């Protein structure tokens, strides 16, 4: 009985340490597109599930970042950045009833919606399926 318990613990520990295989919910490749006339500084994106985040760095006006792979992502993400010395954010979204973007490549187009309040808005664009998922 003791050997059975030890074997079960070892098997569970090995299984829990392996990287998760792809699911319909992810992975999801995200990039940022700056659709303003201003340069973005220190772009940070939190995708919403399990507080997964990534810093995309700086982005010039009219440009887009490279894709970054998140395990999962929602259409509404929290995006924070600076324009000059002023901080901007989309705010933390309520994704309680949202559906994940699932496997694919997506672009968050970002613009300033209310400059006086430092608020951003976004639009999600589906770019392509993932070509490296089996």
What total of structural domains would you count in the chain?
Answer: 1
Distances (CA, A) of 64 to 33, 108, 110: 4, 9, 10
Q: Write the pLDDT tens digit of every residue in 85-122.
A: 999 999 999 999 999 999 999 999 999 999 999 999 99
Average pLDDT across the chain, whole number: 87
Tell me whether residue 11 is in a domain. no
Cβ(75)–Cβ(90) under 8 Å?
no
CATH number, domain with residue 63: 2.60.40.2890
What value does the mean pLDDT take over residues 37-61? 92
Predicted pLDDT of residue 11: 54
| DSSP reduced 3-state for 13 | helix
Would residue 119 count as lying in a domain?
yes
In terms of residue numbers, what domain contains 78? 21-128
Tell whether the model's pLDDT for residue 2 goes beyond 80. no
């Amino acid at each position: 009985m003791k050997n059975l318990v030890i074997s079960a613990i070892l098997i569970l520990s090995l299984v829990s340490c392996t990287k998760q295989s792809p699911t319909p919910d992810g992975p999801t490749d995200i990039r940022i597109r700056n659709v303003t006339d201003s340069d973005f500084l220190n772009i940070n994106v939190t995708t919403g599930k399990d507080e997964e985040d990534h810093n995309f760095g700086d982005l010039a006006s009219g440009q887009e970042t490279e894709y970054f792979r998140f395990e999962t992502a929602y259409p509404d993400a929290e995006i924070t950045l600076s324009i000059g010395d002023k901080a901007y954010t989309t705010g933390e979204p309520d994704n309680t009833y949202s559906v994940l973007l699932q496997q694919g490549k997506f672009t968050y187009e970002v613009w300033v919606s209310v400059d006086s309040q430092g608020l951003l808005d976004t639009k999600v664009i589906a770019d392509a399926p993932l070509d490296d998922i089996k």
